[in-house]
Amino acid sequence: MEYIKGTSDFVLEKPSAVTLGKFDGIHIGHQKLISIVKEKAEENNLLSVLFTFDSIPLSICPQKNQHFLSTNSERKMLCEKYGVDVEIEYPFTHEFMNMEPEEFIEKVLVRKLKAKFIVVGVDFCFGKNRAGNAELLVENGEKYGYETIVVDKEKYQDIEISSTYIRDELKQGHMETVNVLLGRPYSVTGIVAKGNQLGRKLDIPTINIYPTEIKLLPPNGVYASTTIIDGKNIYGVTNLGTKPTVNNGSDISVETNLFNFDEDVYGKKVEVMLLHFLRQEMKFDNVEALKKQMESDASFAKNMFMVK
C-alpha cells in the first residue's frame, strides 16, 4: 500500500476510485465504503484510495474530541488489512479548512486524485463551513468526469452505526457491542516495554504496553484478551489501568498475562485485542491478595477460551 502523509504536494500516478472521511475506527460502515471502492477499482483498472486527514489541530478545532478509536498507525494498518491501494492523510490546515467545496472537488479530487468514482456516506460534508455534501458531488460529476456513489448508513439493532455510537459503547465497557460494530475486536497497539517486573516475582509474567494519549480506552479493568505477536494470536487476560495496588502514579498501562507463552518480546510491536470485560480494576490490601485475584481472572479467561 502507498502511504501519503502530511503533504499536499502529490498527484496520483493513475486514475482512482476514492472514499473520503475521518474513518475513525474503520467500522463496518467504513468497510462497506472501502469494499465498493475496491470493487470499482478492480472493474475499471483504477487505484483504490482512502482519503483522510493527518490530524485536526486543537488550534483550528479546539472543540473537537481529541481521543480516537484508532491512531493514525492503527488506521494505516487497517487500510492495509482491507486491501486499499493508497491511503492519503491530507494536512488539515487553515487554508484547507477554508477551501470552497467546488475548489476542493477541482483541485484535490480531480487534479490530485484523478477521481473517476467517489464513494461517500449520505452524511458526508466537506469544504468551508461544511457547505459541500454528497448532493454537490453528484451535481458536479458530469462537469468533472466522475461518478458519485452515495451509500446509506449501516445499522445495528435499528441504530445507525457511527464512530460516535461506538465511542459511547466503548466508554461503558460494552466490548461485545463495540466488537460487532467494528467487525473485529477493539485493540490497543504498542511497543512492549519493561514494567515493574512484579508479575514475574508473583510467577505470573506479563507484558506491558503504554497507549498514546489520543487513544480512546474503555473503563479501567480486567479483560479477557488475545494478543497478536509476530502474526500469532495468544490468549490471555489484560489489566487496563494504573495498577493501584503497586503504583502511586496515574499512567495508564495495558498489562497482559499471556497463556502458555514465555518468549522475550521486549521492544516488539504487539496488538492487544479486548474481547470481554471481566471486572473493574481495584486496589488490594497486599500483593498476595492481588496474586490470588490474578489467578482467578486467568482461570476464568482460560475456561472462556477453553485453554488448559
- Cα–Cα distance, 223 to 268 (Å, whole number): 22
Q: Which three cell numbers stand for residue 146?
A: 466522475
Task: Kindly report, residue by residue over 216-236, the tens digit of the pLDDT.
Answer: 999 999 999 999 999 999 999
**Coil, helix or strand for 226?**
strand
One-letter-per-residue 3-state SS of 159-184? EECCHHHHHHHHHCCCHHHHHHHHCC
Report CA 266 to chain centroid distance, whole Å.
24
pTM of the model: 0.92
Q: Which three cell numbers stand for residue 301?
A: 479467561
Judge contact between 140 and 107, C-beta under 8 A: no
188 by Cβ neighbours in 10 Å (0-12 / 13-18 / 19+) ranks as buried
For the chain, helix, strand, coil in percent to 5 are: 30, 30, 40
**CA pseudo-torsion sign 165, 171, 173, 175:** positive
**Sequence-ordered list of residues with C-beta below 8 angstroms from that of 126, at least 6 positions apart, any chain:** 20, 101, 104, 132, 133
- pLDDT digits (tens), the chain, 308 positions: 999 999 999 999 999 999 999 999 999 999 999 999 999 999 999 999 999 998 876 655 655 557 899 999 999 999 999 999 999 999 999 999 999 999 999 999 999 999 999 999 999 999 999 999 999 999 999 999 999 999 999 999 999 999 999 999 999 999 999 999 999 999 999 999 987 666 665 678 899 999 998 999 999 999 999 999 999 999 999 999 988 877 766 789 999 999 999 899 999 999 999 999 999 999 888 888 988 999 999 999 999 999 88
Task: Kindly report, residue by residue over 81-104, the tens digit of the pLDDT.
Answer: 999 999 999 999 999 999 999 999
